[in-house]
């Protein structure tokens, strides 16, 4: 049997070495010479940028609320705090859309994943901590900013761990409370009570416990249902559509309180299921 001599392996071309989100585009410089440059997918990154903007907008409103409090405008401060909390919930919607848009349009990318994590850190890490600090924790002095930092550190560690577990962990579960859910607890508390005109200084201790607990749950090993196994593309009974309409009606009947209850229930579901599993052993 004749053997063919080993052919030298060809070096991969430049385009194959690029991350999956980058592609080579050809153009011309000012002198008319052909140049090649890289680009990124626009559509999913637009949603991620909107998510980042929502987090930034929340931070700006938290700062405006503190300025209003310093000026003695408690009504204006409550309004700014409510806007800051709502912006975090808007960021959650946008965060859920960018990944789905990327999958639907086949524009998933390493760049998009990293950009999404950085945006999440702002929207679900820094923004909720500053919101809680400005509304309630600031009156607690050093304890207040330490609690806020526990939350920020928990969000950063949670996102870093999630990035390292992509493709390895069971998709049915999150390990630790997801940062958007933790942000929902914090934003829900502020929105629900500031909507009634209740000042956070009267609830400093309770808010500190919730913020610290949310930060610790994010870095815990407690499993949470991810609901990623739900098939949103398949056919469903007509009753399911009615149930969805009913859910939306309930939420819009009293958004601050309903959303707070939903996120508190989800945050508590992990520890409750963990204790039930321990009891069965």
pLDDT, tens digit (0-9, with 9 covering 90-100), for 38-60 = 667 778 889 999 999 999 999 99
**For all residues of the chain together, what is the average pLDDT?**
85
Q: Give alpha helix (H) positions in the chain.
A: 43-70, 74-104, 110-120, 127-135, 142-164, 179-194, 204-218, 238-253, 255-280
Q: Work out the average pLDDT over 94-117.
A: 85
Question: Which region holds residue 141: left if phi is over 0, alpha if psi is between -120 and 50, else beta?
Answer: left
Instruction: Assign 195 a pLDDT band (cuts: 50, 70, 90).
Output: confident
Q: What is the model's pLDDT at position 17?
A: 41
Q: What is the model's pLDDT at position 277?
A: 87
22 has pLDDT over 60: no
Q: Which of 168, 121, 170, 126 is nearest to 149 (CA)?
A: 126
Q: Work out the average pLDDT over 22-49.
A: 67
Residues 6+ apart with CB under 8 A from 251: 258, 259, 262
Residues 6+ apart with CB under 8 A from 178: 158, 162, 218, 224, 226
Share of the chain above pLDDT 70, in %: 82
Helix (H, G, I), strand (E, B) or coil at 281: coil
Among 133-147, 160-174, 187-201, 240-254, the range of highest mean pLDDT: 133-147
pLDDT, tens digit (0-9, with 9 covering 90-100), for 199-258 = 888 899 999 999 999 999 999 999 998 877 666 666 777 787 888 889 889 888 899 999
10-24, 116-130, 176-190, 214-228: which has the minimum mean pLDDT? 10-24
Taken in order of first residue, the domains within the chain and their CATH numbers are: 43-280 (1.20.120.1760)
pTM of the predicted protein model: 0.83
Q: Quick one: DSSP state of residue 25? A: E
Instruction: Assign 167 a pLDDT band (cuts: 50, 70, 90).
Output: low
Residues 6+ apart with CB under 8 A from 73: none
């Amino acid at each position: 049997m004749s053997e063919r001599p080993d052919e030298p392996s060809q070096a991969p071309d430049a385009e194959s070495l690029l991350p999956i989100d980058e592609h080579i585009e050809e153009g011309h410089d000012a002198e008319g010479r052909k140049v090649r440059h890289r680009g990124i997918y626009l559509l999913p990154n637009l949603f991620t940028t909107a998510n980042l903007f929502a987090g930034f907008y929340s931070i700006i409103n938290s700062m405006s609320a503190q300025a209003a409090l310093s000026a003695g405008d408690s009504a204006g401060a409550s309004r700014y705090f409510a806007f800051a909390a709502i912006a975090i919930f808007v960021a959650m919607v946008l965060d859920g859309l960018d990944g789905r848009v990327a999958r639907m349009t086949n524009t998933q990318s390493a760049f998009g994943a990293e950009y999404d994590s950085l945006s999440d850190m702002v929207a679900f890490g820094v923004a909720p901590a500053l919101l809680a600090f400005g509304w309630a924790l600031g009156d607690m002095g050093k304890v207040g900013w330490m609690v806020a930092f526990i939350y920020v550190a928990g969000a950063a560690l949670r996102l870093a761990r999630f990035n390292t577990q992509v493709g390895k962990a069971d998709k049915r579960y999150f390990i630790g409370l997801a940062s958007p859910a933790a942000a929902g607890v914090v934003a829900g508390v502020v929105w629900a009570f500031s909507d009634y005109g209740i000042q956070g200084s009267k609830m400093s201790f309770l808010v500190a416990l919730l913020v610290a607990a949310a930060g610790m749950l994010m870095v815990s090993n407690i499993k949470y249902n991810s609901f990623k196994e739900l098939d949103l593309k398949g056919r469903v009974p007509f009753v399911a559509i009615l149930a969805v309409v009913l859910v939306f009606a309930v939420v819009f009947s009293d958004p601050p309180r309903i959303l707070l209850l939903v996120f508190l229930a989800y945050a508590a579901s992990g520890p409750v299921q963990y204790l039930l599993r321990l009891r069965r052993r």
